Structure formats: C-alpha cells, structure tokens
Structure 1
Amino acid sequence: MSHHTTPYPAQEGAMPSQRHILPIAIVLITALAMLWHGPINQLSDYHNFADQRTWLGIEHAADVLSNLGFAAVAAYGLLILRRQEAHPAFAAGIAGYRLFFGALALTALGSSWYHLAPDNASLVFDRLPIALACAGLLAAVWRETLGSPRWLVWLLGAAAIVSVAWWRLTDLEGAGDLRPYLLLQLLPLILVPLLQHLADRPRQERLMFASAIGLYVLAKLCELADWQMLDALALISGHTLKHVLASLAALIVARQLASRVRHAGSSIPHPQAK
C-alpha cells in the first residue's frame, strides 16, 4: 500500500540486511573520520557564558530556568507513550522514545545543576543525558524504519555513557577528547533523515523530523554565538536560546508521535524486531 494512503506502510523491496548497509557504512566512515582527525578538545572558555544575571537568588538564572522547557516536553512525551504504549504506531520504537524523553527529563535536571556553577565536574551531568537522548532517538527511528535487534537501544545507550566517560577520563588527564560525544550527536542528524528515506516514511513525518533537526542545528549555532547574541538581543543570550530551540525541536518529535495516534490505523504493520 502506498504511503499516500496509509501513514506507516509495510516495508517492501530490499531485505533488512541490505537496507542496513548504507547507514552502517556512514557510521563507520564518520567514526573513522573522527579517529583520523585526532582529539577534539573543549574550548578553553567553555564555561564563560554570556548571561551572568541573577534572578530570585538564582545565579545564571536564564541558563538555569530555560531548562524547564526540557522538563515540560519530557513529561508530555512520556505521557503520550504511557497512554499509547499498546498502539501499533509505537510498537518498534517505543523503547528508544522512552529513553529519549527520559533523558530529556534528566537533561532538565543535569543542565540546571551545571549552570548553577559551571565546571567540568558538573558538566558530566549535563552531557550524559544529552548523549542518552541522541542514542534513544536514533535507536527509535532505526528500529521503526528498518527493523533491528531489540538490544540496539541498549547498545546505543551504552555508547552514550562511554562517550561521556571517555571525555571525562581524558579531561582528568588534561586532554578532554570530545570525539565520541560529538559523534553521537552528529549521527542522528545524518541518519534519521536517511533511515526515513530508505523506509519511505510518510512525507509529513519526514518533514516534522527535518524541522526538529533544523531547530537543533540552529540551537547549536546559537550556542556558539552566545556572547554575540546577547549583545544583539539584550534580553536573551545564545546559550539560553539554545535551550529554548532544542526544547522546541524535542516538542516537534513529541507532536509527531501524537499525530500517529490520530492518523494511524489499528492494523498497521511494522518491521519485525529480531
């Protein structure tokens, strides 16, 4: 059945193992490129955020309180999954989406804790949930598009933990290599659109995920222009805006999941998990 008449068609054509070749090749090539590049170090002034204002006794209030957006989206997303966990539209990807939204909730806590008194030790509690969120989203999309073993979400979750542990261990030795952590953030930006294309997912779904990815990329650019944006906008810094835009990106993912319940039928097939 065409994807113009049903939102989540059965996968046809190439065998799953063949469809996995290109995504796996991209993972390997990107990892090898990172390895060839050599260590990527954290900026020396990373903790020197532009907005130093205190409000209601909260230091760096804007960067701290803007994390409430992550908490709100996490609660909304987890509520969707809890109410619709038996719905076939979530059958393959639900474990990954649970990790994604659960990690968003932890991001709200960890990032708030970090921004109260930024240093490398507290940064671990900011970066670990972000890495887990990237792992969860990638696992969810991979499983629900091409199918994959159930342990993929555990494998990517473990990779997220290792990526942050590697940065922290090398940081304590004076190097602070960010390559694994950056790789885990980069892969969903490349692979999510590719996986959805290979599986011929509905146009609306691909557009919504593309919009979320675009907002996240914009959020990262705002982060790099932290001081410049505060100078230009006065009321909000680049890093605070990063939190807002990243929350909106996650909200788009949640809204896309909610739309599946409205549009998907009760007998829609999915790639079989191994």
Structure 2
Amino acid sequence: MKSLPHYLPTAVTLLLAAAALFHGPIHQPDGYHDFADQSLVWGVPHFCDVTSNLGFALAAFWGWLRMAPAADHDDLRHGWAGYRLFLGGLFLTALGSTWYHLAPDNARLVWDRLPIALACAGLLAGVLGDVRRRDSGGMAGLLALAAVASVAWWYFTDLAGAGDLRPYLLLQGLPILLIPLWQWIYRAPTADRLAFGGALAIYIVAKLTEANDHAIAAVLGPLTGHTLKHLLATGAAALIVGRLVFRLRVPRPAGAAACRPAPPSAMSACR
C-alpha cells in the first residue's frame, strides 16, 4: 500500500489543474512580440535573441552523443524514453526559437512553444521513470500528446480571438513542482536532487528575466532580458544533461539498484 507522500504529486497536479480551470483563460500579453532586442548584425535581425538559441542545440547534441549509446545502462534505461524526448525537444527549441525570433508573430510562435512543451513533457516522463525504475515510454507518449494539445489549444483559441495559455503554462509549471517531489518521495540520489533542483531554480530566474526584457536591456544594453532568458535556460538544460551524463561514468555500488527505488518503509532491508 502506498504511503501518504506518494499521493502528493497527484494532489498537486489536480490542485493546479483546478486552479487553472477556475482562474479562467490566460491571454498572451499585448505587445508580446515587441522584444527589446532590435539589433541587426550581419543582416540577422534581433541578432542576440536569435543566436542565443545555439546553446540549446549544443546541450541536446552533447546529451544525445553521450547518452544514446548508453541507453541500456542501468542508470538510464528506465528514464531514457523521456530523456530522449527532452533532448529532442531541446534541439527543436533551438530551431523553432531561432525561426520565431527572426520575424516574431503568432504563427511562428507555435514552433517556439511546441518544442518547449515537448521538452517539459520529456523531462517529466524521464524523471518519473528514473525514480520509479519503470520504463518511461508510455508516459512519454502520453505527455507528448498533452504537449501538442496544449500548444494547439492556445493557437486555435487565439485564432478564435481568445487565446488561452492555461494548458501550456500548466505543462511548464508541473516539472518545477513534481520533479523535486518525486525525487524526495523515491529517495533519488542527493546529487540528482541538487542538479535538478539547481536547474529548476535557474529556469525560474530565466522566466523572471523574460518578464523584464526591456528593463534589463535598459541596464545591460545589448544583453536584453529575453536574451538572458535563453542563456539561463541553456544553463539549466546543460546542468540536467551534465548530471545524466556524469551518472553514466560512475559505477554504482553493489546492491544500490535494489535499494534505490524503495519507499521509506522498506529501506531497512537495504541497510
């Protein structure tokens, strides 16, 4: 029988979904596409916002290069389907965000938001498979569908004149709350908790810089809030990828595979 903490992630998800439902539609702010970066360098408009996406592709390429050959590794195989979706979403974010920032509008924004939603879905599925020691393929598929649906909901409601970001924002918010909960409940290694927790904290800061795009540009000049958001989000992604890659290099002590997923009530058998 599951202990009470095991129900917390479900409760948090239901509460957030209920809050979003009762809140009502969340619309995209007016002037959303009016970014502070209006530079033109070597014929590339919004140069800093465009080129700062390169880091996403590099982090994804590094992760894929190191993890794909080790997909059957005991420290990766359960979460690999999710992490594979995360890396794919990360790489597509570099492409989609670059395309969007060259000429920002809602039609192009779809191809920016969709990869981000897929990356969030993949991260959720990967961590859940990781901590529960169960294959994440099914969950990755379901969450990928949810990611596509969340962006489609925003886009088609926007075409109808009432764009609603609630599902998309919910999918971005869930990893920030659920990943630390899952890692605590299932006793993930401390290094995992620190790396993922640090990455999530950096991502929160990135979202704050995004919301203060023009104010930061007024202080830092060419380094606008949105450009800084890209750089910080890249750092967050690289921290997660780095931790996953490092896990593949460190042999696990004998018996750790059996003990890691055990709930608190069963840990005495592993001591």
1:65 and 2:51 are equivalent in the alignment: yes
Q: Which residue of 2 aligns with 1:184?
A: 171
Deviations 1:47-93 (A, max 9, x none): 00001001110011110010000010010111121121121000210
1:220 and 2:211 are equivalent in the alignment: no
Question: Structure 2 residue aligned with 1:203, among 180, 190, 197?
Answer: 190
Question: Structure 2 residue aligned with 1:32, among 1, 7, 18?
Answer: 18
Deviations 1:15-62 (A, max 9, x none): 4x9664221111111101100000000001100000100111001111
1:241 and 2:231 are equivalent in the alignment: no
Q: Which residue of 1 aligns with 2:143?
A: 156
Aligned mates of 1:90, 1:126 — CA distance in 2: 28
Instruction: Report if the CA contact (8 A) 2:39-2:45 is conserved.
Output: yes
- Output aligned runs, 1:259-270, within 5 Å: 259-265=246-252, 268-269=257-258
* SS of residue matched to 1:174: coil
Matched pairs, number = 258
Aligned mates of 2:247, 2:37 — CA distance in 1: 39
Q: Which residue of 2 aligns with 1:126?
A: 112
Question: Structure 2 residue aligned with 1:56, among 42, 57, 63?
Answer: 42
Q: Which residue of 2 aligns with 1:86?
A: 72
Per the normalisation by structure 1, the TM-score is 0.90
Question: Structure 2 residue aligned with 1:165, among 124, 127, 152?
Answer: 152
Per-residue deviation, 1:260: 0.7
Moved more, 91-100 or 259-268: 259-268
Aligned mates of 1:37, 1:22 — CA distance in 2: 22
* SS of residue matched to 1:162: helix
Instruction: Report if the CA contact (8 A) 2:217-2:225 is conserved.
Output: yes
Aligned mates of 1:150, 1:169 — CA distance in 2: 29
Q: Which residue of 2 aligns with 1:135?
A: 121
Structure 2 residues without counterparts, runs of 5 or longer: 263-271
Per-residue deviation, 1:140: 0.6
**Against the structure 1 CA distance between its residues 57 and 234, is the aligned structure 2 distance closer, same or farther, given a 3 Å change threshold?**
same
Q: What amino acid is aligned across from residue 100 of structure 2 in structure 1?
A: Y
**RMSD between aligned residues:** 1.7
* SS of residue matched to 2:118: helix
Aligned mates of 2:21, 2:60 — CA distance in 1: 34
Per-residue deviation, 1:144: 1.2
Q: What amino acid is aligned across from residue 53 of structure 1 in structure 2?
A: S
Aligned identity (percent) is 51
Per-residue deviation, 1:232: 0.5
Structure 1 residues without counterparts, runs of 5 or longer: 1-13
**Against the structure 1 CA distance between its residues 18 and 264, is the aligned structure 2 distance closer, same or farther, given a 3 Å change threshold?**
farther
Q: What amino acid is aligned across from residue 165 of structure 1 in structure 2?
A: A
Aligned mates of 1:80, 1:58 — CA distance in 2: 32
Aligned mates of 2:29, 2:133 — CA distance in 1: 39
Q: What amino acid is aligned across from residue 187 of structure 2 in structure 1?
A: D
Instruction: Report if the CA contact (8 A) 1:107-1:130 is conserved.
Output: yes
Q: What amino acid is aligned across from residue 217 of structure 1 in structure 2?
A: I
Q: What amino acid is aligned across from residue 14 of structure 2 in structure 1?
A: L
Aligned mates of 1:271, 1:193 — CA distance in 2: 15
